[in-house]
Structure formats: structure tokens, C-alpha cells
Amino acid sequence: MSQWAAFAGFPNLSAEQQKARVERFDKYESSLIAHVSAAAQEAPRVAMRAEAQSAAQASATNTSSFAARLTTTKPVKMSVPTFDGKDSDSLVFWVREIEIALSAGQIYDARAQVAFALSNLGGRAWAIARETATPGYFTPWSFMEQELRSTFLLANVAYRHRSNFL
């Protein structure tokens, strides 16, 4: 009966009622612990489901916005001169023409952008690009542009072009 001495705060309850109350509390406590541990185990699954659901919604949104973008304007086919790598001054203008053609042609896929740019390279530039163009080497157009600039552009060419317009 010493374990029940702690419940002396319920003097109006008999010992049997106090014991029943403690057993009910133990049962409640056990079920609460089971519920909390089950919820803790389920939380990562719920988070993964929520992430997958939000990714699916984002994908659907991106797809619909891409589809809306395609239906609002028709792509324009543009002709871009071939860059052969002989005149480094022309690289700045060639890169800008490629960017304009990518935008006008509504070419948003990274691989398609690189393929379009590669199709407009010729001569020495084409040979160097082919040597380094292992599959996936030029993944984004921005990387390819940077590689071309570092290979063919003299350090002060961009400055000279900008200074012409100042």
C-alpha cells in the first residue's frame, strides 16, 4: 500500500477508487506514448509525401506555364552566322546573336540550346568544341559560352566593344 501513499491527495476516494484511477491514468499514458511514437515514425513519411506532392504540383505548374508560353507566341526561326574562331572580335556579337535566336526560337531546354550553338560553330572553334564535347560536357549554354570566351576572346576585347558605345 506504500505505492498508493502518494495519492493521499484524494482523501474522499477509497483505496479501490484511487487504484482504478491510477490504472486508468496508466492506460491513458500508455496509449498516448504509443500514439506519439507512431506519429514520430509516420512524420518522415508524411514529409516525403508532402514533398512529392508539392514537386508534382510544381511540375504541373511548370508544364502548364511552359505550355502557355508556347501557345501565346509562335517561335521565330532565325539564321545565325557561323563562328569559326578566326576573328575573336566577332565572338561577342556571335554570342549575342545566339542568345537572341534562342529566345526568338523559344529554345528553353539546356541540351537544345547547346545543340543549336554547336550547329553554328565552324572551323577551328568547331574542332576544339568537338574534342572537348564528350556527352554532357557542355550541359548548359552559359558554361559553353564561358568556355568559348576563355578560349577565343582576348582579355580586352569586351572592354573595347563596350567603350565603343560609351
pLDDT tops 60 at residue 66 = no
Specify the pLDDT at position 101: 92
- Please write the tens of the pLDDT for every residue from 84-110: 877 766 888 888 999 999 988 888 888
98 and 159 part of one domain: yes
Same domain, 93 and 63: no
**Do 95 and 159 belong together in one domain?**
yes
Cell of 91: 565572338
Is 77 inside any structural domain? Answer: no
pLDDT > 80? residue 38: no
> What mean pLDDT comes out for the span 36-54?
72
At 1-10, the pLDDT tens digits run 455 555 566 6
DSSP conformation letters of the chain: -GGGGGGTT-TTS-HHHHHHHHHHHHHHHHHHHHHHHHHHHHHHHHHHHHHHHHHHHHHHHHHHHHHHHHHHS-------PPB-SS-THHHHHHHHHHHHHHHHTT--SHHHHHHHHHHTB-HHHHHHHHHH--TTTT-SHHHHHHHHHHHH--TTHHHHHHHHT-
Q: Which domain holds residue 58?
A: 2-71
Please state the domain count of the chain: 2
Same domain, 159 and 93: yes
160 with 95, same domain: the answer is yes
Would you place residue 54 in the very low, low, confident or very high pLDDT band (cuts 50, 70, 90)?
confident
% of the chain with per-residue pLDDT over 70: 63
Model pTM?
Answer: 0.47
